[in-house]
Amino acid sequence: MSNYHIKNLEEYYQVYRRSVRDPELFWEEIAEEHFVWRKTWRKVLEYDFSVPEVKWFEGAELNITENCIDRHLVTRGDKTAILFEPNNPNESPLEISYRDLYRRVNKFANVLKENGIEKGDRVCIYLPMIPDLAISLLACARIGAVHSVVFAGFSASALATRINDCEAKMVITSDGAYRGAKKIDLKGIVNEALESCSLVKTVLVSKRIDSKPNMIKGRDKWLSPLLDVASEECEPEVMKAEDPLFVLYTSGSTGNPKGMLHTVAGYMVYTAYTFKNAFNYKESDVYWCTADIGWITGHSYIVYGPLANGATTVMFEGVPSYPDFGRFWEIIEKHKVTQFYTAPTAIRALAKENLDYVKKHDLSSIKVLGTVGEPINEEAWHWYNDNVGKKKNPIIDTWWQTETGGMMISPIPYVTPTKPTYATLPLPGIQLALMDNKGNEIFGNQVDGRLCVKFPWPSMARSIWGNHQRYKETYFSQFKGMYFTGDGALRDEVGYYRITGRVDDVIIVSGHNLGTAPIEDAINEHPAVAESAIVGFPHDIKGNALYGYVILKEVGEGRDHDNLRKEINQIITEHIGPIAKLDRIQFTQGLPKTRSGKIMRRILRKIAHNELDDLGDVSTLLNPEVVQTIIEKRIKNELVN
Ligand code: PRX
């Protein structure tokens, strides 16, 4: 029996029990057998959740790119590592072999060095889904620079906040991006962002759309001439196990985004291990994850996890609706994709379209289907199972977070019997707990509570960049000696987990993690706005959408509310990006508040959900009368909409 590849349910339980009984031995065996190290570790694990401090494989030395590239050259040199499918279906795909990848990453790494990047420096990457994106991550990792990818849908202001927070010296971007029928001026966004980022000395620009962007002399350089003359050899920097690999920002319920810090060795071991098991990955498979590398899913399961296993990973530049709603299915047929990993929001959007889009493509290559990022509702699960999986392929509903680095709860295909809407069982090494409001663990089955993890796992984030105190407060302070996920979950009669949603002020919209506070801060900058409160409400395609209650400074009948709604969404787009736009905006003269002045979001959530009969006790509010006024306006709004 191998811990590394679990083949049946009995084996899963045995492996799981072993991983709990002796976690250090468990991970040590995996690390020893499946990776290359320059130097081995002194100690597998050292941790103290009260600090909090977690160290895996202390004393070990390695470079993750040797594990993702170099070691495959002998046996897989000609195998496709990255299969790039462009936005335009008439443009040829690009197959980058492991040997090509080696050359490209080394060249890129040398360009970084020549432009002053050293081990430990932060490099911000703001690129569309083109090969240079994956290559730039690996190039940073090759020389020990810390990459911080910002999803290329974020606005100039959101980009600037992230660049400044991690004090990046360099930005890597492109002249623009294709997104379906649209072209997006990424370089223009970078130029605007950099007006407020004084530390950035160099901008490397990849050419994608042949635009003529404004290049700032002395700062901005086209990448391709630099790559042309760079050497194809670049010695990998020898990294310590706990050296930083990357920072990736995620929203919090308050304040600025949190730069989650991931470190080299543990992240590598865990993403590779989970990739192998959760996708039942085999050597000749063609694996496709539709996420953007700007999110953790793309980091772990487009780049590092697949490449560490020597896999062929598809990278798709476009969108599911271009040139028509059959694009995903066309790509599966074209490249004979064996594992397909996507978001419930994409499934719901595609399920609304004519079934012929799916039916006309041969999807018989598929072996495993996956979902990630948000709960999948029963209807979407069945549509996916019936029409894409043809009822014969397992669907893995994978629960995890930017903070966890890799999947935590997921069926193992052909091993764990699946159950719609359930992420099922913890992966080996993951020790979960459900907690009640008083901080006690809830044992047994058929229970629900707050989802925590009681023992470290290798790919957990080690800190929030520049703010360890916030890391401690956010994740390790609610429940003593545990990592708190921010999610609620239930455990059914057989021990399967189902995620019930966030229990804090984070809202998952189309699988994207959005904190309410930064959106409210953006809205409050509108000169007409006095105060605002955002809550989520159920949405057919996005899972959740945003509902904003907005108090205006002057209440005049003469105001053009439709125009204000547009301006508010415009401000959100500028501060954060279009993903955070509000679906509904209700103007109100007050917000329900406690006597200490805290907004009672529970009530606002119920009103947004239209659960008007079940508001609970409002008598303790500072201003109970305001609730009725909000409800009346809500009802009127419904009639107008
Ligand atoms: O609420 C959970 C939800 O997404 C949150 C994490 O978001 P993010 O850090 O952006 O990472 C998303 C990709 C890993 C979680 O706290 N979530 C993620 N996967 C699932 C999920 N909710 C239910 N089911 C899932 N499979």
pLDDT digits (tens, 9 = 90+) for 99-153: 999 999 999 999 999 999 999 999 999 999 999 999 999 999 999 999 999 999 9
pLDDT in tens, 260-293: 999 999 999 999 999 999 999 999 999 999 999 9
pLDDT in tens, 314-355: 999 999 999 999 999 999 999 999 999 999 999 999 999 999
pLDDT (average), residues 409-421: 97
Amino acid at 417: P
Q: What is the dihedral of CA 552, 555, 561, 565, to 10 degrees?
A: 0
Q: Whose CA is nearest to atom 8 of ligand 1?
A: 401
Closest C-alpha among 462, 468, 437 to residue 450: 437
Distance in angstroms (rounded) separating the CA atoms of residues 638 and 621 = 26
Separation between Cα atoms, residue 269 and residue 62, nearest integer Å: 12
Backbone angles phi, psi at 295, to 5 degrees: -115, 165
Q: Is 397 in the pocket of ligand 1 (CB under 6 A)?
A: yes
pTM for the predicted model, two decimal places? 0.93
423 lines ligand 1 (CB under 6 A): yes
Look-up of token digits 């925590």: 452
Residue 636: per-residue pLDDT? 79
Task: Of 204-208, 293-297, 373-377, 423-427, give the lowest mean pLDDT range.
Answer: 373-377
Please indicate whether residue 505, judged by its CB atom, sits closer than 6 Å to ligand 1. Answer: no
* 308: helix, strand or coil: helix
* 237, containing H or E segment: none
Query: 510-636 belongs to which homologous superfamily?
Result: ANL, C-terminal domain (3.30.300.30)
Alpha helices in 115-181, H assignment, sequence order: 131-143, 156-166
Q: Decide whether any atom of ligand 1 lies within 6 Å of the 97 Cβ.
A: no
Instruction: Report the separation in Å between the CA atom of 527 and the middle of ligand 1, taken as the mean of its atom positions.
Output: 35
Is any ligand 1 atom within 6 A of the Cβ of residue 250?
Answer: yes
Nearest CA to ligand 1 atom 18: 373
pLDDT tops 90 at residue 37 = yes
- The answer, yes or no, to whether any atom of ligand 1 lies below 6 A from the CB of 406, is no
3-class DSSP state for residue 262? strand
pLDDT, tens only, 301-324? 999 999 999 999 999 999 999 999
CA of 380 to the centre of ligand 1 (A): 17
- What is the band of 2 on the pLDDT scale with cuts at 50, 70, 90? low
Residue nearest to atom 23 of ligand 1 (CA): 375
Could you count the other beta carbons within 10 Å of the beta carbon of residue 124?
27
* Percent of the chain with pLDDT strictly greater than 70: 98
Residue of higher predicted confidence among 43 and 501:
43
Q: What is the pLDDT of residues 49-95, one digit of tens each?
A: 999 999 999 999 999 999 999 999 999 999 999 999 999 999 999 99
Q: Determine whether the shortest distance from the Cβ of 459 to ligand 1 is under 6 A.
A: no
Could you tell me the distance, in angstroms and rounded to a whole number, from the CA of residue 301 to the centre of ligand 1?
14
Rounded distance from Cα 194 to ligand 1 centre (Å): 31
Of 132, 123, 124, the closest CA to residue 227 belongs to: 132
pLDDT score at 251? 86
Point out the ligand 1 atom lying closest to the alpha carbon of residue 402: 9
- Any atom of ligand 1 within 6 Å of the Cβ of 502: yes
In percent, the amount of the chain with pLDDT more than 90 equals 88
Report the pLDDT value the prediction gives residue 640, as an integer from 0 to 100: 47
Give the span between the Cα atoms of 490 and 434, in whole angstroms. 8
Nearest-CA residue for ligand 1 atom 26 is: 399
Q: Which ligand 1 atom minimizes the distance to the CA of 506?
A: 1
Half-sphere exposure of 49 (CA within 13 A, CB side): 18
pLDDT at 379: 94
Q: Is the pLDDT of residue 596 over 80?
A: no
Closest-CA residue, ligand 1 atom 15, reads 401
Mean pLDDT across 534-552:
94
Contact 343, 374 (CB under 8 A): yes
Ligand 1 close to Cβ of residue 513 (< 6 A) = yes
CB of 401 within 6 A of ligand 1: the answer is yes
Grade residue 556 by pLDDT with cuts at 50, 70 and 90. low
Please, what is the average pLDDT of the chain? 95
Query: Please, which residues bridge with residue 240 across strands?
Result: 61
CA dihedral 381, 382, 388, 394 (to 10 degrees): 70
Mean per-residue pLDDT, 226-255: 94
- Judged by DSSP in three states, 346 sits in helix
Measured distance CA(471)–CA(485) in Å, rounded:
12
- Is there an atom of ligand 1 within 6 Å of 197 CB? no
450 lines ligand 1 (CB under 6 A): no
Supply the pLDDT for residue 374: 92
Q: Which of 299, 376, 499 to mutate to test the pocket of ligand 1 (most atoms within 8 A of CB)?
A: 499
Q: Cα(22) to centroid of ligand 1, in Å? A: 28
Tell me which of 297, 348, 374 to substitute to probe ligand 1's pocket, judged by most ligand atoms within 8 Å of the beta carbon. Answer: 374
For ligand 1, mutation pick of 267, 376, 401, 407 (most atoms within 8 Å of CB): 401
Ranges of each domain in the chain: 510-636
Atom of ligand 1 nearest to the CA of 291: 13
For residue 469, count CB atoms less than 10 angstroms from its CB and return exposed for 0-12, middle for 13-18, buried for 19 or more.
Answer: exposed
For the cut 80, the answer to whether the pLDDT of residue 171 exceeds it is yes
